[in-house]
Amino acid sequence: MIIDRGGWSHYPTGRCNPHLFVQPAGVSVRKSFLLLVAALIGAPFAPGQAAEPSFVPVLRTDFPDPFILPVDDHFLAYATNSAGTNVQVARSSDLVHWERVRDGGRAHDAMPVLPAWAREGWTWAPEVAHVGASYLLYFTARERSSGRQCIGVARASDPLGPFTSDAAEPLVCQRDLGGSIDASPFRDSDGRLFLYYKNDGNAVRRPVHLYAQPMAEDGLSVVGTPTAVLGVDSDWENGLVEAPTMVKAGARYFLFFSAGFFGWPATERFSPYAMGYASCDGPLGPCTPAAANPILHSFDTRDAGCLSGPGHQSVFEARGRWFLGFHAWAATSECRPADARRYLYVAPLDLSGPAPVIGMSLRPGASN
């Protein structure tokens, strides 16, 4: 896995160690010019305080499980419930400068009213697809009757909502497997729609898998039976895979996913949350996890800076290029937990080869 540090106008030039994110945290990265200048002027280089960090947040507010949707000449990002909303939304014209959408003095809620089957306060991981004349919001919420997290879909004519659903039941809910979360829609090049999701087995000490299931043309229902396309197969996943994102680039299918516990316990040096991918033969698999996984994980080095718990990715194409959105935990200058917020990051993503290549993240203040 190569981390590319050049080519996009909002991030610096140069190149990272190609093994930065597949080696244990703390591996050194060569940026000899910057280090030489620092040595000459006596400037200290503390962990987490790199002069040119590899990843810088573009939105410094609590914005977990982000999903980014290109809309005409701008971008909308949706995130897990926070700030008194079910589905919070942010807007950007350039992927670098973001602001949360507000209704007067309050944060905008893209889905202010949940369907009857869902309980308030547990609305997670929203993703939006443009299907026909409608925008469809796929989300996770707590089912009143079972207490499980389940998947729903709501519809709106505007990507800002309000998204509404009169469904009496969830779209998908594997109650006997712990529930279902992290719904992600995918349209193949032939026009077929699929829904990817995770059974929430870790909530009930059951095995966890990622599933793919065909959808009806209108995107409002699933058809057939789900296919398990990925399970836990490596120690770094710590018994948990989630947040599936299927992408087709050329003839290649990539299934991105996150793994491990999402939090940052005070007793741990880093959050164990990390990101991997699998190569798939088609939208229903089979899928083979990459030997280089995880492709993005926590680190703290004097050269590359600090990142803790990167994951729950969003992969999207805009203006002829691929990008990767994800969250990571807010950290102090010493790379310790700052508070309970997860910030939004956006980085260029090269999918032209057999393995994804992540660039240095976009950042405010860089030259255009």
- Which sequence positions are flagged as catalytic? 65, 242
For 9-38, b where at least 16 C-beta lie within 10 A, e where not — what string?
A: ebbbeeebbeebbbeebeeebebeebeeee
Structure tokens at 151: 């998947």
Compute the distance between CA of residue 280 and CA of residue 256 in angstroms, rounded to an integer.
Answer: 10
